[in-house]
Amino acid sequence: MKIGAFASFFAPSTSPEAVGHLARSLDSAGLDSLWFGEHVMLFDEMEFGYPGTPDGRLPVPDGDGVPDQASIIAYLAGQTTHLRFGTGISLIPQRNPIYTAKEFATLDWLTGGRIDLGVGVGWCKEEVMACGYEWSDRGERCDEALDLMKQLWTEPVTTHNGKHFSVKAARMDPKPVQTPHVPLIIGGYSDAALRRTARYGHGWLGFGLDPAMTEGMLSRLDAALAEEGRTRDDIEIIMMPGAEGADAAAAFADLGVDRLLPMISLDTGEDRTDYLTELKQQFSG
């Protein structure tokens, strides 16, 4: 089982130097990867609450926000050599898929193939709509965006005529370094998310689950994969555990989790590099 980390921090209160130090430390320690979340804007009032806290509110200090994923990755890639970078997740239904394909193909080229693109449909209705898209069709729009992005990444010339996007005889270069393209890591617990994993995913990304909950999710994922003629051997299982989950690393390994990403909170000055290194040594075999 590979050991990486999910970085939780907000800007501008967390300094660029602190984020750079974390990435360099993980890289020097030989850890697997560093992942970042995404929210382009925040709202005081929301129709649907954030699922990660009891009160449904994002724990973001006043005056802070979530910095841009791609900019962070580009900044840190130049300071590291082996560390992979992932998005946990990118909110595909509120993004332009052409720009997203270009952005992550360029990052993959710049980093020599050290990018994983985490995919999700999001929970914040206000954010999706503020970006100019509808809430109700975000799932089907996500799927079409992934189809289009895969074409742009793999075909010399792309023509796409879909319900949401249309492209005629277009070229996009550079292509990703990784083959067949940047790995798509699908996040989410709904039936639709698991179907999306089975259809598009190089991996499935779980967040905040303990081992018992993870076991139940993997049973559901097995059923979705079987519908597509695939098995869990065809994808990676990646878990961002809850607070209790990081201490249950052996149980996650027994379940077949391929990558474990404990959270590091830079806003509290937390340094878990030694702990992550110990986990790496424990599971490197």
Per-residue pLDDT tens for 58-82? 888 899 999 999 999 999 999 999 9
In this prediction, residue 245 carries a pLDDT of 62
Q: Alpha-carbon distance 63 to 35, whole Å?
A: 23
Q: What is the pLDDT of residue 55?
A: 83
Strands 5-8 and 263-265: parallel
- pTM to 2 decimal places: 0.95
Which ranges in 55-173 belong to alpha helices (H)? 69-77, 97-111, 125-130, 138-154
Per domain, the residue ranges of the chain are 2-182+249-283
Residue 57: what are its φ and ψ, rounded to 5°?
A: -115, 140
Ranges of the chain whose pLDDT falls below 70? 243-246, 270, 285
The answer, yes or no, to whether the previous bond of 12 is cis (omega within 30 of 0) is yes
CA 159 to chain centre: 27
Q: Which fold has domain 2-182+249-283?
A: TIM Barrel (3.20.20)
Which sign does the torsion angle of CA 70, 71, 76, 77 carry?
Answer: positive
